[in-house]
Amino acid sequence: MSISYQPVIGLEIHAQLQTNSKIFASDPVLFGQEANTLISPISLGHPGTLPKLNKKVVEYAIKMGLSIGSTIAPKQYFDRKNYFYPDLPKGYQITQDKEPICIGGKVPFFLEDGSELEVQLNRIHLEEDAGKLIHAPGKEASWVDFNRAGTALIEIVTEPCIRSSEEAVAFLAEIRKLVMYLEICDGTMEEGSLRCDANISVRIKGTSEFGTKVEVKNMNSIRNVQRAIEFEINRQIETLEAGGQLSQETRAFDALKGSTISMRSKEAANDYRYFPEPDLPPITVSQAHIAEVAKDMPALPGVLFERYTKEFGLSEYDAYNITDQKGIALYYEALIALTKNYKGAANWLMGDIKSYLNEHGMDIQHFPMAPARIAALIELIDQGKVSSSIASQRIFPAMLSSEKNPLELAEEMN
Ligand code: ADP
Ligand code: MG
């Protein structure tokens, strides 16, 4: 009889916050600018400079915490994480170690087969990003670009409660959706605004003790996170089956080969010598401040989903697809402010409109028809003036190339 194994996975997700300036300096935060143009003595870590906390960063982290039911710590401080690397001019990263801004919380989400699941969070903390090394092709040289140095990050750390690659990526997609709804991060994994490290171990099914974990880095898409986890689970099981031992290490994912390779072992890992950052005062967050941030929160996908299924009688499938992208949900919200035919509005949005967007590779933000015109079309059908199929086949296409209202167009077409 062969032994059966169970994967144990915990994720660490870094999200770059969409603030105008950096976390401790007024340098602008922009992507794709000429190297070393968005810098200052503070982000370059010159001696004698002092960091000053960007208030917006705290607000964004509180938003994230509130959206997933974390406890917001009333008092926190920053720590220095000391290590040397050429993209880190100060020789330490300012982060939160012992007292993070958000503690606990949980994220409910759906798997592809429709089953519902929950991931427990350990914490969310604030920190600054490092600069970026660019390895000169074909030369034994690297360049360094400090534009990114000091960009604000939140790091979202889960408990080791994820049990498969499917669960991991569905959860990651949910986090991506949340940060985009909250408008605190643009969610692009390709540009590195959202980055995910996966901690993976396997254990014999039925045992409670965790196995030796490996941390995998370097995945720049949700798909690659899934591939990396699957490769790593198999590698670990094969190693154990062959009588080998796993070592606690950090591995990098190679997207071309679809495999992971060792970067450094735990024994050789840095001792970061964390200590409280003496240049920044502790942060205090009052209940009044939290309440103020809460007032400013947009409707979140989970809340909209409940409302659409329970109050409007939409199918879970429709409700999920409408809330999957904030732009689509906003369009639907605008539609149902104008018509009480909730199901009809969902059908138009997920049918003709979605097809049009797909055909034209277009975002809903660029869809040429205002919700009022679609609502007028729905009314025409509900009044029995035109059939759904005529509306879809003749009037909807005509509306795309005319400013006339649907009734006028229907009359013109007889
Ligand atoms: P470290 O001290 O190495 O940073 P932590 O306990 O802080 O480890 O956990 C870091 C991440 O690793 C978390 O996301 C956590 O859920 C995950 N993790 C911890 N132990 C395991 C394990 N045995 N297998 C898989 N993931 C784990
Ligand atoms: Mg840790």
What pLDDT digit, counting tens, does each position of 100-133 carry?
999 999 999 999 888 999 999 999 999 999 999 9
Cα-Cα-Cα-Cα dihedral sign, residues 151, 154, 157, 163: negative
Ligand 2 centroid–CA 84 distance in Å is 19
Q: Closest ligand 1 atom, CA of 161?
A: 16
Q: Closest ligand 1 atom, CA of 199?
A: 26
Ligand 2 centroid–CA 237 distance in Å is 24
The maximal CA–CA distance of the chain, rounded, in angstroms, is 80
Give how far the C-alpha of residue 269 lies from the chain's centroid of Cα atoms, to the nearest Å: 28
**Which residues are CB-neighbours of 212 under 8 A, at least 6 positions away?**
201, 245, 246, 247, 248
pTM summary value: 0.93
Q: Closest ligand 1 atom, CA of 248?
A: 3
CA distance 152 to 26: 12
Q: Tell me the ligand closest to 199's alpha carbon.
A: 1
Residue-level pLDDT at 414: 83
Q: Alpha-carbon dihedral of residues 362, 363, 365, 366, nearest 10 degrees? A: -10
Ligand 2 centroid–CA 73 distance in Å is 18
> Atom 14 of ligand 1 has which residue's CA nearest to it?
10
Q: Closest ligand 1 atom, CA of 159?
A: 16
Ligand 2 centroid–CA 31 distance in Å is 28
155 forms beta bridges with 14, 125
Length of the chain: 414
DSSP summary character for residue 256 = T
Ligand 1, residues at Cβ distance < 6 Å: 8-12, 157-160, 199-201, 210, 213
- The answer to whether 262 touches 225, Cβ cutoff 8 Å, is no
Q: Closest ligand 1 atom, CA of 210?
A: 23
CA distance 75 to 414: 70
The DSSP line for 115-145 is -EEEEEEEEEEEEE---EEEEPTTSS-EEEE
Closest CA to 323 of 338, 345, 301: 301
How large is the C-alpha radius of gyration of the chain?
Answer: 25
CA distance 95 to 22: 14
State the Cα angle at 113 between 112 and 115, rounded to 5°. Answer: 100
> Atom 13 of ligand 1 has which residue's CA nearest to it?
10
Ligand 1 centroid–CA 10 distance in Å is 6
Half-sphere exposure of 99 (CA within 13 A, CB side): 14
Ligand 2 centroid–CA 239 distance in Å is 25
Range list of β-strands (E), 259-303:
259-265, 275-276, 283-284
pLDDT tens-digit profile of 246-302?
999 999 999 999 999 999 887 666 689 999 999 999 999 999 999 999 999 999 999
Ligand 2 centroid–CA 154 distance in Å is 14
Half-sphere exposure of 323 (CA within 13 A, CB side): 23
Give how far Cα 308 sits from Cα of 169, 314, 323, 347, 351, Å.
Answer: 25, 6, 9, 13, 17
Give how far Cα 49 sits from Cα of 52, 90, 159, Å.
Answer: 10, 11, 37
Residues of the chain with pLDDT under 50: none
Between β-strands 249-254 and 214-219, what pairing exists: parallel, antiparallel or unpaired?
A: parallel
> Atom 22 of ligand 1 has which residue's CA nearest to it?
213
Q: Closest ligand 1 atom, CA of 266?
A: 3
Q: Closest ligand 1 atom, CA of 211?
A: 23
Alpha helices in 104-221 (DSSP H): 165-182
Q: Tell me the ligand closest to 96's alpha carbon.
A: 2
CA distance 148 to 145: 7
Ligand 2 centroid–CA 207 distance in Å is 24
Residue with tokens 């350990």: 122
Closest CA to 308 of 338, 348, 336: 336
Which of the listed residues 213, 248, 250 should we mutate to test ligand 1's pocket, taking the one with most ligand atoms within 8 A of CB?
Answer: 213
